[in-house]
Amino acid sequence: MTGPVTGVHIRSFSDALAEGLRPTFQAISDLVEPAVVLAKAPDTDGAFESSLAMLDAACRAGLTLEPELLHGAGYMAEPEVIADADYWARWWWRTPAGELQVGEHALDPANDAFYDYPSTEWFTALRDGEDDTVFGPYVDFNGTNDYTVTLARAVRLDGVFLGSVGGDITVSALERRFEPILRDLGVPALLANEENRVVISTDAQWTAGSRLRASSSRPQQSYDLAPWTLVVFD
């Protein structure tokens, strides 16, 4: 594209972004019901194991549905929701070889590598009433060690918070999927989160995770394209 960016171009990019993320959001939504069933399953007569198998199947199906974008998916329970477990998580991810396997998180507070997920910003926001959160980019030291974005959805039953289901997308996967259509705008542009941290960018000045600063010497326009903001430089 050449010439000024118009409303038509912005709508076209917005539609492409929404369509590109749709399978990921669907995969996450499909985890809610199995998570509720698991959280309420009695630990008797194999009910818990059966419910866990249902959750596992949904995680694998979601990762299979979106193999190029979704890197990990699963359920993290509110403390003490799962019987006999202060902390409980089931998170599947894709290995470098492309295989799906259950990830290992250190959930013992006595462990130096303890993953205190109930205290994370995204989990706390869901507990406090948000239905969905998009967190990152951040370096996933508890998983891939890559810059990652987590999309999460609250799991509730009759108003009671049971935890969160979610999915992880590496920034590199987002770049492969969305940088080409971002470049189609024909001007330097980027996507930023609500904290003004860059998610992906076609401008070498801004890299993933850097904080966007307003610059009077460089005109820019911002457009709210949930879950992020599109910033276009003149």
Nearest to 103 by CA among 85, 87, 89: 89
What is the identity of the amino acid at 196? N
**Is 38:59 a contact under the CB 8 Å cutoff?**
no
Given this model, what pLDDT does residue 45 score?
72
Give the class (CATH, top level) of 16-171. alpha beta
The string of pLDDT tens digits covering residues 63-102 is 998 888 999 999 999 999 998 889 999 999 998 888 999 9
The per-residue pLDDT for range 173-226, each reduced to its tens digit, is: 999 999 999 999 999 999 999 999 999 999 988 999 999 876 546 778 899 998
Amino acid at 104: E
Contact 62, 73 (CB under 8 A): yes
Residue whose token pair is 């403390």? 79
Question: Torsions phi, psi of 127, nearest 5?
Answer: -60, -35
Q: In the chain, what are the domain boundaries?
A: 16-171, 173-233
Q: What angle do CA 40, 142, 190 make, to 5 degrees?
A: 105
How many angstroms separate the CA atoms of 221 and 234, rounded? 8
Mean pLDDT across the chain, nearest whole number?
91
State the pLDDT at residue 4.
64
Q: What percent of the chain has pLDDT over 70?
A: 95
Q: Which of 92, 94, 103 is nearest to 28 (CA)?
A: 92
Main-chain dihedrals φ then ψ at residue 17, nearest 5 degrees: -65, -45
Residue type, 204: A
Region for 205 from its dihedrals, namely left if φ exceeds 0, alpha if ψ lies in -120 to 50, beta otherwise: alpha
Q: Reduced to 3 states, what is the DSSP secondary structure of residue 71?
A: coil
Res 44: pLDDT? 76
For residues 111-116, give the mean pLDDT.
92
- Pairwise CA distance, residues 208 & 197, whole Å: 7
Q: Cβ(215)–Cβ(196) under 8 Å?
A: no
Residues 6+ apart with CB under 8 A from 127: 78, 118, 154, 161
Nearest of 195, 199, 189 to residue 233 by alpha carbon: 189
- 59: Cβ–Cβ under 8 A, 6 or more apart, which residues? 31, 73, 74, 90, 91, 92
Look at residue 5 in the predicted model and tell me its pLDDT: 72
pLDDT of residue 84: 82
Question: pLDDT tens for residues 154-165?
Answer: 999 999 999 999
133-158: average pLDDT: 88
